[in-house]
Amino acid sequence: MTSGGDAPGMNAAIRAVVRTCVYYDREVFGIYNGYEGMIKGDIRKFNVRSVSKILGKGGTILKSSRSDAFRTEEGRATAHQALTEKGIDALIVIGGDGTFSGAHQFSKEFNFPVIGIPGTIDNDLPHTDYTIGFDTATNTVTECIDKIRDTASSHNRLFFVEVMGRDSGYIALKSCISTGAIAVMLPERKLSIEELIAILRKGFANQKTSSLVVVAEGNPNGGAMEVANLVKARYPEYDTKYTILGHLQRGGDPSCFDRVLASQLGVAAVEGLIDGKSDYMVGTTNNKITYTALAQCVTISNPIDEELLRISKILSI
């Protein structure tokens, strides 16, 4: 099952789960439309051909949704009944912290074996170096910002580019470094407008003819439009523009990295269930497969990488 926001590489994980189940002679079913589909019994038996030609396809063939009904005891009981009627005795969920919170609650209430696969472009889950979709999303953002820089340089403009990240600034931070942006504004670190203007003035004093600032949508000062207007109001001499990249960051074919990561985690999820593991998230740490209790993955978020933040400041001069 996939749930929450879609992420490039989810299909690769679905493929890996299905083919690993077939390899180990286990029956496997696909649940459509997330927890809502589980409640409604939208569950179909899969075989090895069910996942042909999806490895490099973006989005999720199982569809995704958010379910208010699953937040209730009645909804979860209905979902459990739907699984047992199909003879299903274990669950693999692909998603982020909201998905894992539901899976953890479900596993506890019904003593039901569950393994979570981290699939979210935000890279905001702890106990795994990367989540499925993050690499593809940052590659997409980098490509877009490179194109924006072309026009910024042609017109000596100051561009604010808004990227996804309500609570996590990983996309913003990585793309800031990869595109040579002069500053990054994150949910985790409040950069005041005064501090930002000081950075911009220093850049112009160093003969910068154009500048780019990457703004995470969860930045405390607002998104790219709000920040651009605040700067423009105080310094109208700046030729200021903004761009909101939006949902194009979620789309596109998954990168090689995400396809391989999703394949590794899909295999490990099935093998973990076969070995008797339950209520765990499978991830990677230092290129090694790890299993972490879901309870530890939903109570804290992945802290911002201080070393990357330090590097971004050094290279932005």
pLDDT at 224: 96
Which CATH number covers residue 33? 3.40.50.450
pTM comes to: 0.94
36-85 residue pLDDT tens: 999 999 999 999 999 999 999 999 999 998 899 999 999 999 999 999 99
What is the extent of the structural domain holding 230? 135-251
**Which band of pLDDT confidence, cut at 50, 70 and 90, is reported for residue 201?**
confident
93-149 residue pLDDT tens: 999 999 999 999 999 999 999 999 999 999 999 999 999 999 999 999 999 999 999
Contact, 82 vs 38, CB < 8 A?
yes
Q: Among this protein's residues, is 89 annotated catalytic? A: no
Residues 106, 163 share a domain: no
pLDDT at 209: 65
Please state, in angstroms and rounded to a whole number, the distance separating the CA atoms of residues 10 and 251.
11
How many domains, in total, are found in the chain?
Answer: 2
Residues 227, 259 share a domain: no
119 — phi, psi (to 5°)? Answer: -130, 100
Residues 128, 32 share a domain: yes
* E-strand stretches of 7-113: 28-31, 43-46, 91-95
Which CATH number covers residue 166? 3.40.50.460
Q: What is the residue-averaged pLDDT of the chain?
A: 94
**Which band of pLDDT confidence, cut at 50, 70 and 90, is reported for residue 157?**
confident
Contact, 225 vs 244, CB < 8 A?
yes
280-307 residue pLDDT tens: 999 999 999 999 999 999 888 888 899 9
Catalytic annotation, pick one of 122, 135, 258, 279: 122
